[in-house]
């Protein structure tokens, strides 16, 4: 099955309002085969969605609350995101796991709540450096999948995008080699196959993330099981991200 590639930009906690608008404007007319999904900070979502209506850009949130509504000061819920036209949500980014102590159980709940409001989860997984050095990366990622993602039904899994992001590669300038990425992506697809069957395994997009640049994107994205990228730093520059979109197309 031919999977449509995705170029996803995770802006993290960067950019002022004008910079965010300028970036989205610079990207909105990019002609591409790939699906383009932007993950700006929450506060800009509504405005960016309005500014790019009718353009082939989808929007995602970088996080969501595990509760649907109520007295949870400072949180943002799945129904709120749904109501403003957000289609995707990052769940389990390593920065959330590390700095905000999000554990498997919480991520499992976030996945369920995202699904129940029709949001496509982009579920992030990936091992830290010491795990890679000990060659335990497959076991580590397997556990992340098993403890959170694989609680989803077969039907739900078809709505999911997976992002493999080795922690040692995020924001470090160290990128997994195309071979390392392919090896892990093939492993993840094998687990999907085993759990959910061949159709689902062939359908789910698995993105690579971790120091993707305009220079290395094509070599990564042409690996058979790499279906595009989740890009941090390089997604903040229109020229670089445009090149990455083209590499995914
Ligand atoms: P990076 O971030 O491209 O800056 O390494 C990727 C990510 O965290 O999604």
Interval 153-196: pLDDT, tens: 999 999 999 999 999 999 998 999 999 999 999 999 999 999 99
209 lines ligand 1 (CB under 6 A): yes
pTM above threshold 0.75: yes
Atom 1, ligand 1: which residue's CA is nearest?
Answer: 232
**Which residue in 88, 93, 120, 185 is the catalytic one?**
93
230 lines ligand 1 (CB under 6 A): yes
10 lines ligand 1 (CB under 6 A): yes
| d(CA 112, ligand 1 centre) in Å | 25
Residue 93 a catalytic site member: yes
139 C-beta neighbours (distance < 10 Å), count = 11
- Taking the chain (249 residues) in runs of 10, the rounded mean pLDDT of each run is 93 98 95 95 98 95 98 98 98 98 98 98 98 97 98 97 97 94 98 98 98 97 98 98 97
165 lines ligand 1 (CB under 6 A): yes
Question: What span, in angstroms and rounded, lies between the C-alpha atoms of 203 and 190?
Answer: 12
Q: Tokens 């077969």 — which residue?
A: 154
């Amino acid at each position: 099955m031919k999977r449509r590639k995705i170029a996803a930009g995770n802006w993290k906690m960067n950019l002022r309002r004008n910079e965010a608008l300028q970036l989205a404007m610079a990207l909105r007319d990019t002609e591409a085969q790939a699906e383009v999904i932007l993950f700006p900070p929450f506060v800009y979502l509504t405005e960016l969605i309005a500014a790019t209506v009718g353009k082939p850009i989808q929007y995602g949130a970088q996080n969501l609350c595990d509760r649907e509504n109520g007295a949870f000061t400072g949180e943002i819920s799945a129904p709120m995101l749904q109501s403003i036209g957000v289609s995707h949500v990052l769940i389990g980014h390593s920065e959330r796991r590390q700095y905000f102590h999000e554990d498997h159980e919480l991520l499992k709940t976030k996945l369920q709540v995202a699904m129940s409001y029709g949001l496509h989860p982009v579920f992030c997984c990936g091992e830290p450096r010491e795990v890679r050095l000990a060659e335990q990366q497959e076991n580590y990622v397997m556990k992340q999948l098993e403890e959170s993602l694989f609680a989803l039904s077969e039907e739900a899994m078809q709505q999911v995008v997976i992002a493999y992001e080795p922690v040692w590669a995020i924001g470090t300038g160290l990128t997994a080699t195309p071979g390392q990425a392919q090896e892990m992506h093939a492993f993840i697809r094998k687990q999907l196959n085993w759990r959910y069957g061949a159709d689902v395994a062939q359908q789910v997009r698995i993105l690579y993330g971790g120091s993707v640049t305009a220079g290395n994107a094509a070599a990564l994205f042409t690996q058979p099981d790499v279906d595009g990228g989740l890009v941090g730093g390089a997604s903040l520059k229109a020229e670089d991200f445009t090149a990455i979109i083209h590499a995914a197309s």
